[in-house]
């Protein structure tokens, strides 16, 4: 599975998501209606991004399941596009800072509020109704999300697979040196 758990890869995902959103919208809108297609693509792109942020395959599976379950619930609710975007952003924040990466709780909350708020504000500014502007809005949202890897103080959650004694001793030594 392709991962975008770094700044450069996340920026690349933003570009692909914007292009893919525009193309998929043109295909899905006749089938689901414009609002239904936009909602489905917003939920799907947030869940896919969340799963791709995982540093390890098992974490990607867990993030994908949480994102998909939250997205399915979001899809079943009778919401508009803006409410769906807010819900998808909340699911992404939960997956990223709740499951995949750890930071101090206040720092994690403030980082997610800033990134999600900034991303949604840029997306709302760029998305003015046409398929191209909606694709630009998705691109802008995920571009802001890429900043997560530049803010520092964020590290992947510990992986709980058994390690050999040498690796365990090395990790303990590094922890003592910090």
Per-domain boundaries in the chain: 7-177
* Average pLDDT for 100-125: 90
Judge whether residue 109 has pLDDT over 80. Answer: yes
Report phi then psi at 176, rounded to 5.
-70, -35
CA 3, CA 105: separation in Å to the nearest integer? Answer: 25
Strand blocks (E) in the chain: 101-102, 155-156
The secondary structure of residue 150, as a DSSP letter, is T
* Average pLDDT for 145-160: 75
User: For 43-76, how does the pLDDT look when each residue is reduced to its tens digit (9 = 90+)?
Assistant: 999 999 999 998 888 889 999 999 999 999 999 9
Mean pLDDT check: name the lowest of 1-10, 90-99, 127-136, 137-146: 1-10
Mean pLDDT check: name the lowest of 99-103, 114-118, 141-145: 99-103
Q: What percent of the chain has pLDDT over 90?
A: 65
Within 55-104, residue ranges assigned H as helices are 57-76, 81-93
CA 110, CA 77: separation in Å to the nearest integer? Answer: 27
Spatial CB neighbours of 151, under 8 Å, sequence gap ≥ 6 = 111
User: CA dihedral in degrees (91, 94, 95, 97; nearest 10)?
Assistant: 150
CA 19 to chain centre: 17
pTM exceeds 0.75 for this model: yes
Report phi then psi at 102, rounded to 5.
-120, 145
pLDDT in the model for residue 176: 79
Are the beta carbons of 141 and 2 closer than 8 angstroms?
A: no
CA 14, CA 22: separation in Å to the nearest integer? Answer: 12
What angle in degrees, to the nearest 10, is found between the helix axes of 131-145 and 34-52?
20
* Average pLDDT for 25-31: 94
């Amino acid at each position: 599975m392709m991962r975008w758990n770094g700044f450069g890869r996340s920026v690349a995902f933003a570009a692909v998501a914007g292009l893919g959103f525009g193309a998929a919208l043109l295909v899905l809108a006749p089938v689901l209606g414009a609002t239904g297609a936009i909602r489905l693509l917003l939920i799907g792109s947030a869940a896919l991004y969340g799963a791709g942020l995982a540093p390890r395959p098992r974490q990607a599976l867990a993030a994908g399941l949480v994102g998909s379950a939250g997205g399915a619930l979001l899809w079943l609710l009778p919401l508009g596009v803006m409410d769906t975007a807010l819900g998808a952003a909340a699911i992404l924040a939960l997956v990223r800072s709740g499951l995949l990466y750890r930071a101090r709780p206040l720092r994690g909350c403030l980082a997610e509020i800033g990134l999600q708020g900034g991303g949604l504000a840029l997306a709302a500014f760029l998305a003015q109704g046409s398929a191209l502007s909606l694709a630009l809005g998705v691109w802008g949202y995920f571009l802001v999300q890429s900043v997560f890897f530049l803010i520092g103080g964020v590290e992947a959650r510990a992986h709980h697979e058994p390690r050999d004694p040498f690796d365990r001793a090395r990790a303990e030594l590094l922890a003592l040196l910090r």
